[in-house]
Every structure is written in C-alpha cells, then in structure tokens.
Structure 1
C-alpha cells in the first residue's frame, strides 16, 4: 500500500530529524539516495558511470542543494559534472563549495553530449510553471532528447494536484524522499523512486493499492462457501438500443467472483447467449434475491431506466451507479439522500460535471472529495489516474500507467466488477479501488495480447483478460 503526503506533512516529519542531526546531514542523506538512483539510471541507459556527463540545473531551494550534492557524489565516481545555476546569489553555499571542490564546473548552458540532466529547480514548496529562464533551459534539454531525473518533483508540476498548466519538466525518473506526494500518482513524473531518509510518517488518508492489497481483499471461496455465500450480484443494465452494455457489465460480474449473477432487463437473450450461467429475469422485481446491484450501463434515461435506478437505491443493498443511471441521478440527487447502504458512483469527467454542477478541474482529488461529502456516497472519478473518494476524506488513487481502458464499453466492465465485489462484502472504497486496479491491469494485458507490441484494444478484450489480470497478481 502506498501512502501520499502533503508538503506540510513531510516538513513536519522532517523537523525532528533536522533538529537532531548535524547541520546538512539530512540533505546529504537524501542526496546520497538520489545519486544512487542516478547511477542506476546511467548504467541502464549508457552502461556505466565513469566518463559519463551529467548536468544539474540548480534552483535556490534545498532541491538545488540536493542536486549539487548528488552531482558531487557522481563526480567522485568518475562522471563529468556540470551545473547551471539559475539563481547564483541564492545557491546552496555548502553544496556548491563541495561540488566545485570535487571538480564540478559551473556553466551557463547544458554542455553538448550530456548524458543526463538533474532537475533541482523547484521543490515541494514551489508552485506554478517554470519561469522563463528555466523553461528555456529545459526546452533545449527536451529538444536534445536528454533524459531528466527530477529531484522530489518535476519542476513546474503542482505537488498536490499533479497539474501542469505551463512549461514544466518532463522527467524520465523522479526521485523523492521520505514519503510519496500526490503528484507522484497524479502528475507527469515518469518512473518514481522513493528514498528512505528516516521519516516517521503515519498512514495518510490518500493512498493506492498495490498487488498485495488487491490479493488480500479479492474474494476467494472457502471450504464451506457455496454460490450464495460468495455474493449474488444483480445487474440492471442494457436496453433495446444498447444490449451490449448488459453483456459487458454482466460478463464482468461473472468473471470477477465465483458466486452468482442475476440479470434483470430487456437484454436477457443476448446476455444468456454469452453467459449461460447467468439467471435472467425481465425486471428487477422478478429477479430474486441479490447482495448488491450494478445499475446503469446502457439502461436508458426514460421511465424504465429511472424505475430500475429507483428500485436499486430503495433497497438496503450496496449499489454501484454508472452511465445512464448517473444522468438520472444528476437530475434527482435526492434519490441518495440519507441512504445508509454503500453507494458507489462511477462518473467520467462529463458525468461528474452533471452531478457536481461543474467539471472536476485540475484538483481532481478535491473535487471528488467535495462531491462524495455532499452526496454521502463513494465517488470513483474515472481517468488515467482513477480517483476514489469516500465521504469523510479517505481517497484511493489508481494510476493506470496507460490509457488502454479509454475505449467504449470499458466502464461497463468496471461497473460489473465493482458490483461483484460489493456483493462479496467488500467496503465501497476498497471494492472500487481493487476493481480499478484489476481493470487497468486487464486493459494493459489486452493491449499486449496481439504480440510483442501493444495494439488498440476493446471492452470485450478487456473483459476477456480480467481473469488473466487476477491470476497475474
């Protein structure tokens, strides 16, 4: 499990160490970890360290000091080291003295044939895009195709939201210290490495699942389980216009767990032709007992769709609401007023705007939290980084690492998986987070399925790889 911390939380955790360690010791500890990460990157890219050329772009804060100390350590290992000082009068004095004493050169521009650039311009307390002088330096770096290792965060990218509204550093690798920050999930950071510098950080309310967390929570039948005790998922989806949505949503519920799936709606024939193990009924009232409802994909926004949503929300069962059902709910938010059973909404940005009255904007975490608190439900805001906010402040982030799930019908698959996990008894935030993790993994596997290179995929292919995604954990 990965936890994400604000700049204030990191500063608070650093304070006792700064007070107890000799002056500059914590910076050198961080810089040593940074240098180790750069060594690994240089070896990966060039085959060695000695004789390679690195250049640090140095700002006026502690990150500039980190960059200079790291360049100093690299110089002592035989690399040629240079530094561009963006604010010479405000450069970290001790780090600069050590750098020049080790043979590092202060230069005005990035030397030709540089193998790697260290971004030490702006730290976690900075805000806004790159200033013109830094933007010019990194524009030249990007034009030359030189890889960049960012210190703590890529300069110009917001530490809390990951937004980059203007010129910013495009890092191949970001090395951060003590604890991850939201930008490392939400922003353009390349690969991220965390260096342990000895901070005592409690669990935070913003976190991400990893494979072990998903495995620990995913329902597996026990020796005394049967099809009922594992959770019966009810699916209210599809219409004459969109029967495929019912097929995708129901199939995902089938693939997600080993219990039972009941489908209610007009697409029963199409669903049974693909998933004969499903029990189909023409309406929710006739479907029989379930432990959770997945409602909305392809449902339509007419009276029939509204009645299906009302039926699910009037039950005292967990419900996941998606697609057309979200459109209905946006017009009738009172349907979730006072609802005590777990409720998960899964909007994309457009659906979110209808529910919230405005788009999520750059601060997707803050926007999802606000909507979750206002409606009293769990909100899963779709995107390349899925944001899952629970009422009261708990947030799960799921960085997909790619956008293969951005294809028609993919959300129908996600809804079916969440519904199945809710039926199996997972809490709503954990169900949504685990489903998002496996869904993204299935999308990546589907894209890789044709052969050695990834290729465009589809919702049907993502559904077909759900079990492979689970098995790969």
Structure 2
C-alpha cells in the first residue's frame, strides 16, 4: 500500500533526523542526480539510435547563445557502463528554500558527470551551501532578476533536462511572482513545443501544486518525472495534480516507516469547509492489498454463502447497461446474480449471461441505477419501466427505513447513474455512490452547494469529502484518478489506461464492486471503513482488466468484464 504523508507529517519526520545530524539534503540530492543521469543517458541513447549514431547534443549551441552566461566545460570521459551523458545540458530552476538546495547539490553532481549545468535563481536568496558547492565544481549561475523571462524560456527549450526546484512542500497557494510568471511562460512554451520539450523533472513536487489536496491553484510546469524524498505527498497521487506529476519516483532518505510514533487515525467528523488532511490518510492500494481483501471461496462455500448480488439496471432504451453490470458481477465471482427489471431487458441479460437469475429474492448487496434515466421530479411518468420503484424499495432496505423483518436486514449497495437522483434519506457508509464529476456536482447542488462540474474537477478531494459528510455514504468519484472518500482514510487509484473512458465501463465497475460488497456483506455493515477499501479494490481490478483488454489500444466495456477473471487470478497468484 502506498501511503502519502501530509506536509506537516514530513516536517515532523525531518526534525529528529536533522537534529541527529542525518544528511537528508545530501541523500536527496544524490538520489535526484542519479535519476536525472539515468533518464538523460536513456534519452540520448534513443536519440542516437534514431539518428544513426549522431550525438544530437553536439549539434546544439552553447548556453551563452540563449542569453545565459557560460559555455560547456570539457570533462574527462566516464565509464561507458553508466551511460554517456557528457555534453548534455541541464537548466535548474532554483527557489530560495531547501528544495532549491536539493536542486543545487544535485546540479553539482551533474556537473561532475560532464553535463553543462546552469542554475537560474528565482529569488535574491538561495541555499548558501548548495550554491557555493555548485559554483565550486563549475556550475553556471544566472539570476531571474537580471534576465528577461523569454531568455530563460529559450535556455530551457535548448536543454536536455530541466529541474524544477522552485518551491517545496511548505508552499501554499499559487506561485507568487516572479516564479509564477516564469512557470506560466514555461508551461505555455511546453504546451506549444509538444515532444520537442526537454525532459522535465520536478524536485519533490511540481512547484505550485496543492501538496495536501492535489489542487492546481495556479500555473504549474508539467513534469515527466517527479523525484520525491522520504515519502509520497498527497498531491502526487490526488487529482488533478497527479496529472502533472508524471512518473513518481521515491528516494529513501531515512524516514521512518510511518509518520509519528503512532499510526494516524481518522480525525473528528465535521462539515468540510476545506480539505483536511488530518481526517485520515491518503492511500493507494496495490495488488497485495487487494489479494488480502478479496473474498475467496473455500470448499464449504456455495452460491448463497459466496454472495448474491441484486442488480436493478437498464431499461428498454438502455438495455446494454444491465448486460454490462450483470456481466461485471458474474465474472468477478458472485455466487449468484439476480436481475430485476423489465422483461425485455431481462431476456437480453439472459442471452448474454444465462447464469443470471431473473427473479427476486434475498441478496447480500445491490447494484442500483446503471442505465436507468435520471428521475425528473416534474415528470409524472418517467420512462424507467418501473425501475425507479425497484430502486426506491432497495434503498429503503439499505437505509433501514423498512423493517429488517421485511427486508431480512440491511445490506451494502452500489448507487450509480440514475439512482443517484433518488436519494431521500441519509445513507450508511456501506452504500457506495459512484458518480463522475458532473453527477457529483448535480448531487451536491441538490444538497444546497453552489458547485458545477469544473469546480468538482478542480478540487475532487474536497468535494468527495463534502458529499460523504452530506450523505453519509462512501463516495467513489470516477475519473482518470479515482478518489474514494468515506469515514477516515481516502483512497486514490490510477490503474486504468485512458482508453477506459468509454460508454459502459462504469456499468462494469458497478458490477465488480457489487460482487465485492456481497462477498463481504456482513463485515461491510459492521465496519464502516470497509466499503471504501473494497471500492478502491474494485477500481484497481477494473483498471487492470481494462489494461489487459486494451493491450495499448481501444477497448470496449464488455471486454473489460471478460478480462476480470484473469486479473483476479493474477492478483491472487493462481
């Protein structure tokens, strides 16, 4: 499991290590430099291969021609086995804090390996020891105060690699001038340059992201790789900031396994006026975590003990959603899947999945709403063919409005698509709402919040937590990076290729999650935090199934469902 630490936790972890004389900056700088050297060597090797052995770096002009001081220093040959990086050019964007110091010390390592390195100081202050070391080994220094921003942009454009070390985890809000203006100009230039832009490495974090909530309050230079130190930061795994971090690589600098003397626990419940990292950890599940969560049948199990999933999905207008949701449930390993809906849709479900039972009965979890039209309160006759009535009945059982003597007890539910507009009572945490950003905005507006889709996409963590507090339910906010917010910890998963954004993929996910909830139904009702973990596990399996089905190209939703058994077997090691 990947555990992201808040900025406060990082500072608290650093304090005793610094007091004990642990060379945190030296470790960070060395690790950063090794990553940069590896990537530069790899890129230069690919360039030579494409150019028939011509070293493209030798064809470039000197840094001085870009308006920055200095020309390439000649260095003795290095061992060929470590990759030839001699003559490559690096530009460092250096802020006044410790991240700037990490960057300068790393730059000194690069100079010693034969790179031409120029540090652009974005502030009148710089880390003194780091700057002295950088100058000592022959690094070239320029100040943003003495240069026009276009000159810096041109220097960066002509480099092989650029290191963004402008701010660290202590920064808050949008970047302030002059760094903000420089980053905006660089971001615009990168967008225009496309693949011709130099490899960009963020030092600890991309400067300007919301470290603890993943927001993008201002301009950010998108990184190809972020080299982070000691622990992951929430902004590197939360949307939308995760989308500008590139590949994230963690350098061990000696932090403890967990932040603080004791494990973190969930903070007090309250209305979320702003994202509160103390409310719980930001986690990302990995395959081993899913294997521990997965309900694996034993020799004494049968279809009823393995979990019965009830599916209310689809109409005559949208029958495919029912086929996809039931397929997702069946192929994830449900003991039984019951379909409730129009006879014509049930016939199509049986043609695709003859294992499905088209009849009512006891269930251990519900999947409600895929392919059901949004209920219009001003329309006396919604075209849902009785599905709204079925969903209202199931939700009454989930919330406990109906007596357990009638329902047989409360069970978990997946609430998707049209069913999201049918919530009339506060929900338990074992009800999982699965909206995309637009649906979550609509739900929140109905609860009195002034929010639109763009606002949700700008602050997904905040609004997912807000929806959890407002409804009581666990919120699975779908996206390229999916956020799951319930009581306590937040999960953030990014396991699927971009091809997964296709019609019906969410219906399959609903079926996968319904099966997981059914397989551990009684536990999910008892443990208010389990539904969120199961939801994150479902997202991981769905994403990996999409990756397998896609094979790097387009994918159809039904193929994602068909890939689930192999993915589950792989995760379980069978």
**TM-score, scaled relative to structure 2:** 0.75
> In the alignment, what sits opposite 1:446?
549
Once residues 277 and 6 of structure 1 are traced to their aligned partners in structure 2, the CA distance between those partners, rounded to angstroms, is: 47
Would the aligned equivalents of 1:414 and 1:439 in 2 still touch at CA under 8 Å? yes
Cα distance in 1 between the residues matched to 2:188 and 2:372: 49
Please name the residue that 1:320 is paired with. Answer: 414
Per the alignment, residue 91 of structure 2 pairs with: 55
Q: Are residues 1:295 and 2:383 paired?
A: no
d(CA) in 2 for partners of 1:91 and 1:313?
60
In structure 2, the partner of 1:451 is: none
Show CA shifts across 1:372-414 (max 9, x none): 12211111111111110113x3211012463222111111111
Q: Paired residue for 2:77?
A: none
Residue in structure 1 matched with residue 208 of structure 2 by the alignment: 156
Instruction: Provide the C-alpha distance between the structure 2 equivalents of 1:136 and 1:384, rounded to a whole number of angstroms.
Output: 27
Aligned to 1:344: 432
Check conservation: 1:347, 1:380, Cα contact below 8 A.
yes
Structure-2 separation of matches of 1:361 and 1:341? 23
Q: Tell me, in whole angstroms, the C-alpha distance in 2 between the residues paired with 1:341 and 1:84.
A: 51
Contact 1:157 1:168 in 2 (8 A): yes
Contact 2:318 / 2:372 at 8 angstroms: preserved in 1?
yes
User: What's the CA shift for 1:141?
Assistant: 6.0
Displaced runs of 4+ in structure 1, greater than 6 A? none
Contact 1:297-1:322 within 8 A present in 2 as well: yes
Q: Which residue of 1 aligns with 2:340?
A: 264
Post-superposition offset of 1:79: 2.6
**Does the alignment pair 1:311 with 2:393?**
yes
CA distance in structure 2 between the aligned counterparts of 1:135 and 1:340, rounded to whole angstroms = 44
Equivalent residues of 1:320, 1:344 under 8 A apart: yes
* 2:567 aligned to which of 462, 469, 473: 469
- Equivalence for 2:533: 430
Match of 2:355 in 1: 277
CA contact (8 A) 2:40 2:85 kept: no
Question: In 2, Cα distance between the equivalents of 1:190 and 1:298?
Answer: 35
Give the 3-state SS of the residue equivalent to 2:463 in structure 1: helix
Match of 2:309 among 233, 255, 258: 233
Q: SS at the partner of 2:458?
A: coil
Structure 1 counterpart of 2:490, from 387, 395, 398:
395
**TM-fit CA distance, 1:456:** 2.6
How far has the Cα of 1:350 moved from its partner?
Answer: 1.7
Task: Identify unmatched segments of 5+ residues in structure 1.
Answer: 282-286, 449-453
Match of 1:199 in 2: 255
Contact 2:325–2:511 (CA under 8 A) maintained in structure 1: yes
Unaligned runs of 5+ in 2: 46-82, 265-280, 376-381, 398-409, 446-450, 525-529
Q: CA deviation at 1:199?
A: 1.9
Task: Work out the CA distance in 2 between the residues paired with 1:16 and 1:98.
Answer: 25
How many residue pairs match? The answer is 453
Does residue 116 of structure 1 match 2:210? no
Taking only aligned residues, the RMSD between alpha carbons, in angstroms, comes to 2.1
- Which structure has the greater CA radius of gyration? 2
Once the two structures are overlaid, the 10-residue window that deviates more, 203-212 or 116-125, is: 203-212
Q: Matched residues in 2 for 1:386 and 1:399: separation? A: 6
Taking structure 1 as the reference length, what is the TM-score of the superposition?
Answer: 0.90
Q: Deviations over 1:31-63 (max 9, x none)?
A: 111112212212322242541322211111211
Secondary structure of 2:211's aligned partner: coil
How many Å separate the matches in 1 of 2:44 and 2:468? 48
Match of 2:331 in 1: 255
C-alpha contact 1:49 1:77 (8 A) present in aligned 2 = no
Choose the corresponding residue for 1:371, options 450, 467, 490: 467
Question: Do the aligned residues in 2 keep the contact of 1:219 with 1:257 (CA within 8 Å)?
Answer: no
CA distance in 2, matches of 1:63, 1:125: 10
CA distance change for structure 1 residues 401 and 234 in 2, over 3 Å: closer, same or farther? Answer: closer
CA–CA distance in structure 1, aligned partners of residues 213 and 6 of structure 2: 10
Q: Is residue 71 from structure 1 mapped to residue 107 from structure 2 by the alignment?
A: yes
Q: Could you tell me whether the CA contact under 8 Å between 2:429 and 2:486 is conserved in 1?
A: no
Tell me what 2:277 maps to.
Answer: none
Where does residue 456 of structure 1 map in the other structure? 554
The residue number in structure 2 matching 1:132 is 181
Bigger shift: residues 198-207 or 212-221: 198-207
Tell me how far 1:162 sits from its aligned partner.
2.7
Q: By how many angstroms is 1:311 displaced?
A: 1.8
Deviation at 1:470, TM superposition (A): 2.6
1:150 deviates by 0.6
Q: Indicate the larger mover: 139-148 or 397-406.
A: 139-148
- Partners of 2:41 and 2:84 within 8 A in 1: yes
Identify the residue that residue 411 of structure 1 maps to in structure 2.
Answer: 506
Q: Distance in 2 between matches of 1:161 and 1:299?
A: 33
Once the two structures are TM-superposed, the CA of residue 250 in structure 1 deviates from its matched residue by 0.4
Shift of 1:81: 2.1
Q: 1:272 to 1:168 in 2, by over 3 A?
A: same
Cα distance in 1 for partners of 2:282, 2:224 equals 24
